[in-house]
Amino acid sequence: MVEGDCMFTGKTENLGVIGWPIAHSLSPVLQNAALREAGLDYAYIALPVSPKDLPAAVEGLRAMNFRGFNVTIPHKTTVIPLLDEIDKDARIIGAVNTVINENGRLRGCNTDAGGFIGALEEKGFRAEGKHVSLLGAGGAARAVIWGLVKNKARRISIGVRNPSKAGVVMEFFQKYTDIAVFFWESEEFRSELEKTDLLVNTTPLGMYPAVDAMPSVDFGRLNKDAFVYDIIYTPYRTRFLKEAAALGHPVLNGEGMLAGQGAEAFRLWTGKKANVDLMKKTLREYLEELK
């Protein structure tokens, strides 16, 4: 393929992302930029698939010999029984975001945990032995928790609006790590913040267009040396991160996590290393154009 061209042939390997709706997905932007830069004869497209059509779509992608595909909302869990194999990360997180077609056999993976940790490590933060506090206990939190477990975080404290709903997450991960759930405005959680090395927002609060929202957190009680991470990437800096930065905390948004999980999917499909810096640059430029 000539660099910059969109000339595909019968030898072109096909990739895609399935979801409903799918117009919001940034995966085609990131993946096609990385594929072009690597000089690979691949094409990556967005594929709208309604929940009722998911079984037929998965079989169709298998039949058409797609090399692989990403999976986004609302299919990350419901796709699991339609696949031939699920890796350990996806099984523990309870969601698949990447599928590889290996000679007609579909293997489901989850690259979110690796993307989360990779972005942190790029900033020089290592989770091993650290006390981490999370805000939220949804699907994104499960991937974050598993990444922290694999990287030997010492303790994980989860602050939520409704602790009873988050209890199932705590019970599941208790066999892997020291983990507890608290109401995020409680004195108990504020005490956890005083010992926290890393504070992570896994909720959608503050995401565009509701940019004035943020999870409830008492920054006055947060360890003054804590690293603060918001997995949201639009806006570039949420209100949560702005308040943390104003108090002198090092901060990180979700841009690196998005690019990192995409880069790992890229490697699984192509066997090549993606240019993560290019992915992040492309993402930033694309989001700027949308403003």
Residues labelled catalytic: 76
Separation of alpha carbons 202 and 200, rounded Å: 6
| Contact by Cβ (8 Å): 114, 144 | no
| Contact by Cβ (8 Å): 8, 43 | yes
Strand 42-48 versus strand 85-86 pairing type: unpaired
- At CA 150, angle to CA 149 and CA 155, rounded to 5? 25
Residue for token pair 């890229």: 266
Q: Which residues of 203-234 are buried (b: 16+ CB within 10 A; e: fewer)?
A: bebbbeeeeeebbebebeebbeebbbbbbbbb
